[in-house]
Structure 1
Amino acid sequence: MKILLAGDSTVAGCPSYEYPMSGWGAHLAPETYRWAAVHNYAKGGATTESFREEGRWQELLHQAVQGDVILIQFGHNDQKREHLTARTGYAENLRRMVADVRSKGGVPILCTPVERRHFSGGIPLETLGEYPAVVRDLGGQLGLEVIDLNQWTRALYLELGEGRSKELFFHFAPGEHAHWVGGLEDNTHFHENGARLIAAHVSRELETLVLGLRVTTAVQP
């Protein structure tokens, strides 16, 4: 079976000159190679709208066959577009994606968007507004499995604390990175260390969900 990924830069692979910046989708294949192949269509800057308009969604659907799992995680860039608010354009686009996957016989699984790293008083802030809640709501309304990466990443940041959680993200002092020679403190995009942790969590969640789906299918008359 295949796992096909739709998402933004927090899921996508990055160009070599940005190494070790990485989305978690770039590290999912080593976690799932025993039972599924991964095809990552995620793209930096993508919204639920641009992903379709640029043809990437159609490319993904063209590769999907019955039984394939399609993971969908957007929100970071939708949040920046007035017409893609959580309970209007964003929710409508996710509903349409789910319907498209089901029409191909695939299994859609929604992911809440990973949280950005921003602390206040030692507590990680919620920076994505209603977007994670909308994904959870759609899961219930449409009978979908949801991997709650927003909740899981915030719990991870809290466990590590404000200092150690920096290691998950792309933080470099001036002169430490050839591309960002002036330094960079990016609390949205992951260092490969953080991306690998998230990929391992997604793999564990997926393996449980996929095995459950197979058992359910097998016992149906």
Structure 2
Amino acid sequence: MTRYHLAGDSTVAPGKPPEHPMAGWGTFLAERLGFEVCNHAFGGATTQSFLDVGSWQRLLDGVRSGDVVVIQFGHNDQKEAELDARGGFTDRLRAMIEDVRERDARAVLCTPVERRWFAGSRVDPTHGDYPNAVRELARSTGTPLVDLTAFTTWLYEDLGDRASRSLLSHYAPGEYPGWPDGLTDDTHFSVTGARRIAAFVALSLRAIAGLDGDQPAKGRRGIVP
């Protein structure tokens, strides 16, 4: 059976019990996807540090023919000059895609999830050229893309400033043991937000894999629901 392997930063990484209810979307992917998920993402990761600490090699060691490797970076790469969007960042992503293909597996690129930074009724983009660099790399290499920058921007704006706060780590003092002083964090998801993003990623991955196509069409002909 196909397994899914995740490479990424804290917005993807497994939730840490002391930090509950903060969680990365990868924590809940398996329950929505219906396949085994091996989550190698960790907080603060860049495309370079993921290589340096051996996480990429450990991920590759577990990849079998037919598996899928989902890659989302950018949040922390943008802080490092050598990981410029059109330089080191793209170079490392391209090398990761090649590594996956050498194992007869499939790479899927994700643009970084957007930060929930509102400017009026709109979300202020924070990733500069990184999302476009990932989009163009996906096109040029024929790699499937899950555009999480676009999806999360739409999601926050659709819900609005106030309602979308529940998706991120906004906790009142004393509300959770891990955050006795409370927290206002518009980058990292709450369990609610992580599950919402995981649901979208799971649907996207199932579509990329062409799953569910064996299900019969259920609409009656000639009738618009």
- TM-score interval, smaller chain: over 0.9
Whole-angstrom CA distance in 2 between matches of 1:123 and 1:151? 13
Corresponding residue number in structure 2 for 1:10: 11
Superposed, 1:25-104 pairs within 5 Å as 25-33=26-34, 36-104=35-103
Deviation sequence 1:155-201 (CA, Å, 0-9, x none): 00010000001000001122223222222100000001000011011
Deviation sequence 1:54-94 (CA, Å, 0-9, x none): 00100000000111000000000101111111111100110
Whole-angstrom CA distance in 1 between matches of 2:181 and 2:144? 42
Tell me if the contact between 2:117 and 2:123 (Cα under 8 Å) persists in the aligned partners: yes
Shift of 1:203: 0.7
Tell me if the contact between 2:4 and 2:38 (Cα under 8 Å) persists in the aligned partners: yes
Tell me which protein shows more helix as a share of its residues.
1
Whole-angstrom CA distance in 2 between matches of 1:19 and 1:133? 32
Corresponding residue number in structure 2 for 1:208: 207
RMSD across aligned positions (CA) = 1.3
Tell me if the contact between 2:109 and 2:146 (Cα under 8 Å) persists in the aligned partners: yes
The one-letter code sitting in structure 1 at the alignment partner of 2:33 is T
Tell me if the contact between 2:20 and 2:178 (Cα under 8 Å) persists in the aligned partners: no
Deviation sequence 1:98-138 (CA, Å, 0-9, x none): 01101111100000000000001110111111111000000
Rg comparison, structure with higher value? 2
Whole-angstrom CA distance in 1 between matches of 2:29 and 2:178? 26
Whole-angstrom CA distance in 2 between matches of 1:178 and 1:82? 37
> Which segments of structure 1 move beyond 4 Å, counting only runs of 4 or more?
none
Corresponding residue number in structure 2 for 1:192: 191
Corresponding residue number in structure 1 for 2:144: 145
Whole-angstrom CA distance in 2 between matches of 1:78 and 1:141? 21
Whole-angstrom CA distance in 1 between matches of 2:171 and 2:202? 29
Corresponding residue number in structure 2 for 1:136: 135
Corresponding residue number in structure 2 for 1:20: 21
Whole-angstrom CA distance in 2 between matches of 1:129 and 1:138? 16
The one-letter code sitting in structure 2 at the alignment partner of 1:83 is E
Whole-angstrom CA distance in 1 between matches of 2:125 and 2:166? 19
1:113 to 2:112 alignment: yes
Whole-angstrom CA distance in 2 between matches of 1:147 and 1:2? 18
Corresponding residue number in structure 2 for 1:218: none
The one-letter code sitting in structure 2 at the alignment partner of 1:176 is E
**Percent identity of paired positions between Structure 1 and Structure 2:** 47
Match of 2:87, SS state, is helix
1:160 to 2:159 alignment: yes
Tell me if the contact between 2:69 and 2:107 (Cα under 8 Å) persists in the aligned partners: yes
Whole-angstrom CA distance in 2 between matches of 1:111 and 1:70? 11
Deviation sequence 1:126-157 (CA, Å, 0-9, x none): 11111110000001110111000000000000
Whole-angstrom CA distance in 1 between matches of 2:12 and 2:180? 25
Shift of 1:22: 0.4
Shift of 1:37: 1.1
Corresponding residue number in structure 2 for 1:219: none
